[in-house]
């Protein structure tokens, strides 16, 4: 199958269609998502999830969730739990029970014994350094291990002793006997079992030898009846080995492996090793830090399942590697929240406004739309009182005509409320403005001033007597360079020192204090925010900025 056969933006969809049309599928389409539980899933995994589960859904097939748990030293139950939650949050459900590669350890051991019996595997005593020397290079063939010609009986006895724990870690491995002169290095007698005296989160201490991914992958697919084993391009060179094992073992099915380009996003790193480094070195506050490209982090940041699915659909599925602009991801969430997030008001740098001609003891409940284009989101109530807060940057004593907010001697409209006229200021002993005294026009709620002079600006506000205080976290891109982990450079050198700004004592509409965790809002004129799922409560509300209203990273002419 070549790229010429690509239909739309997903060549794998075309492959499945052709397989169905040609009768190459004896039953239903079966795909699988096989994460290693050694960290949290990231944006690249989101693409793979959408691809595998999406194909199964489109063609009325099944998608399995199978944990590739062959390296217990780096795996944790916490990662297993988080991965399940991520998949369900994205809107997918796996077929049947959760599966583990460890479910097949007994069968895989029997397959290894079978290979030994067929003369296709042997126990090797070379050290790791010696094995690298014997392996050869991309331009030079490897050399046979001095242990390659051991008898079947000796290999069976040694492999059994490995299983029984008779040897130290690193002292022996089981290797497939293929071809040390093969142009594809993956076929040069690859390791299929290692000694690892580590307790396993599923099998406890039953095993002290564990199969490698290359040996586990294809056989697990075959045992589950996977029809289309979809991998990223780095596994393309491993496909001949995948096929060799399938051809040389008594497996119950013949799955086919297909590769697609992994998702690479600029201003982002997705290496699990580097993500773990960010966590371990406390550059971020954990795997679910809202600056992380993990699904858990993006969820806590306020990304929605629909926005991530839409982004993955926009990116498409290709055969060649490329870099996706993170602005495409940011556009997907802006578009989703613009259409669906209720509106609200929050003042982050409060300046008190005293409306001198408004009764001191009066409170008026005004209404505002939940969303300008969504009648189904209803209306919200806003308490209006003599004292309100506005953003400090929305007032100036003097300003030119381009400043369309509140200026001494001029008018401005408060959103969904009245028109104010700024008349005087109160300053502290350092000359800082602490209050602005204004008058309001009582006839301007929902109407223009009778003098016909419309105010040029509309600003947001919150009642000083009825508003609630909250903490707001302004998140931005974690890296300042579009390729933070490019070759030869330390990616930590490109961490954005301004990726998080915490603002205490912000003022919010009173109803926001009761917002449910993970509820999203557009704070008018400011950006899109989400109630933090971890720390948000009606006692101490915390809101995370998902994204600003505009792309502040674009060229100035584009802003």
Is-contact 522 503, C-beta < 8 A? no
The catalytic residue among 143, 148, 196, 272 is: 272
Assess whether 299 carries a catalytic annotation: no
Tally: H helices and E strands in the chain: 12, 27
Name the phi and psi angles at 311, rounded to 5: -60, -45
Q: Please give the structure tokens belonging to residue 104.
A: 């097949």
Interhelix angle 305-315/43-58, rounded to 10 degrees, is 80
Distance CA(404)–CA(415), nearest Å, equals 14
Q: Which of 36, 85, 482, 535 is catalytic?
A: 36
Adjacent-strand bridge partners of 353 = 388, 436
Q: Which residue has the tokens 């858990």?
A: 296
3-state secondary structure 133-171: HHHCCCCCCCCCCCCCCCCHHHHHHHHHHHHCCCCCCCC
The b-or-e profile of 189-212 (16+ CB within 10 A means b, else e) is bbbbbbbbebebbbbeeebbbbbb
Catalytic option among 262, 274, 415, 456: 262
* Burial grade of 506 (CB within 10 A; 0-12, 13-18, 19 or more): buried
Q: If we measure between CA atoms, which residue out of 169, 215, 217 comes closest to residue 196?
A: 169
Q: Is 272 a catalytic residue?
A: yes
Question: How deeply is 521 buried, as exposed, middle or buried, from its count of CB atoms within 10 A (0-12, 13-18, 19+)?
Answer: buried
Q: Is 452 left (phi over 0), alpha (psi -120 to 50) or beta?
A: left
Would you please indicate which residues are annotated as catalytic (active-site) residues?
A: 36, 262, 272
């Amino acid at each position: 199958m070549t790229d010429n056969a690509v239909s739309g933006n997903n060549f794998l969809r075309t492959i499945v269609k052709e397989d169905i049309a040609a009768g190459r599928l004896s039953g239903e389409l079966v795909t699988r998502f096989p994460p290693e539980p050694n960290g949290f899933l990231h944006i690249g995994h989101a693409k793979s999830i959408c691809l595998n589960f999406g194909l199964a859904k489109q063609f009325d097939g099944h998608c399995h969730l199978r944990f590739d748990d062959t390296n217990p030293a780096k795996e944790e139950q916490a990662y297993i739990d988080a991965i399940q939650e991520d998949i369900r949050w994205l809107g997918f459900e796996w077929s049947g029970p959760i599966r583990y590669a460890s479910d097949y350890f007994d069968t895989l051991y029997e397959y290894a014994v079978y290979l030994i019996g067929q003369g296709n595997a042997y126990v090797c005593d070379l050290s790791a350094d010696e094995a690298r020397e014997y392996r050869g290079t991309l331009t030079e063939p490897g050399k046979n291990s001095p242990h390659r010609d051991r008898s079947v009986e000796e290999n069976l006895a040694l492999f059994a002793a490995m299983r029984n724990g008779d040897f130290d870690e690193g002292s022996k491995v089981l290797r497939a006997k293929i071809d040390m002169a093969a142009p594809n290095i993956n076929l040069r007698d690859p390791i299929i079992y290692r000694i690892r005296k580590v307790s396993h989160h599923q099998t406890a201490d039953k095993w002290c030898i564990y199969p490698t991914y290359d040996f586990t992958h294809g056989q697990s697919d075959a045992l589950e009846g996977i029809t289309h084993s979809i991998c990223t391009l780095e596994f393309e060179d491993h496909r001949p080995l995948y096929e060799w094992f399938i051809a040389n073992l008594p497996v119950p099915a013949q799955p086919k492996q297909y590769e697609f380009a992994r998702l690479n996003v600029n201003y982002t790193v997705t290496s699990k090793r580097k993500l773990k480094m960010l966590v371990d070195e406390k550059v971020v506050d954990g795997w679910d830090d809202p600056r992380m490209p993990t699904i858990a982090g993006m969820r806590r940041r306020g990304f929605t399942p629909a926005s991530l699915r839409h982004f993955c659909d926009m990116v498409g599925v290709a055969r060649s590697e490329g870099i996706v602009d993170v602005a495409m991801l940011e556009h997907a969430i802006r578009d989703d929240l613009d259409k669906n997030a209720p509106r609200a008001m929050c003042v982050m740098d409060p300046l008190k406004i005293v409306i001198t001609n408004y009764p001191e003891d009066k409170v008026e409940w005004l209404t505002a739309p939940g969303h300008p284009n969504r009648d189904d989101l209803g209306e919200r109530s806003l308490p209006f009182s003599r004292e309100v807060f506005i953003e400090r940057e929305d007032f100036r004593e003097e300003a030119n005509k381009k400043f369309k907010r509140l200026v001494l001697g001029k008018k401005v409209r408060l959103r969904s409320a009245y028109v104010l006229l700024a008349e005087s200021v109160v300053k502290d002993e350092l000359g800082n403005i602490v209050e602005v005294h204004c008058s309001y026009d009582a006839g301007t709620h929902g109407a223009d001033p009778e003098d016909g002079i419309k105010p040029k600006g509309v600003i947001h506000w919150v009642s000083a007597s009825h508003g609630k205080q909250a903490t707001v976290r302004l998140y931005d891109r974690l890296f300042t360079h579009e390729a933070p982990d490019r070759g030869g450079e330390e990616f930590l050198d490109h961490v954005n020192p301004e990726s998080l700004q915490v603002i205490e004592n912000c003022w919010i509409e009173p109803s926001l204090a009761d917002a449910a965790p993970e509820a999203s809002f557009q704070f008018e004129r400011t950006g899109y925010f989400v109630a933090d799922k971890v720390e948000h409560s009606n006692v101490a509300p915390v809101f995370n900025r998902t994204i600003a209203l505009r792309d502040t990273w674009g060229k100035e002419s584009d802003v």
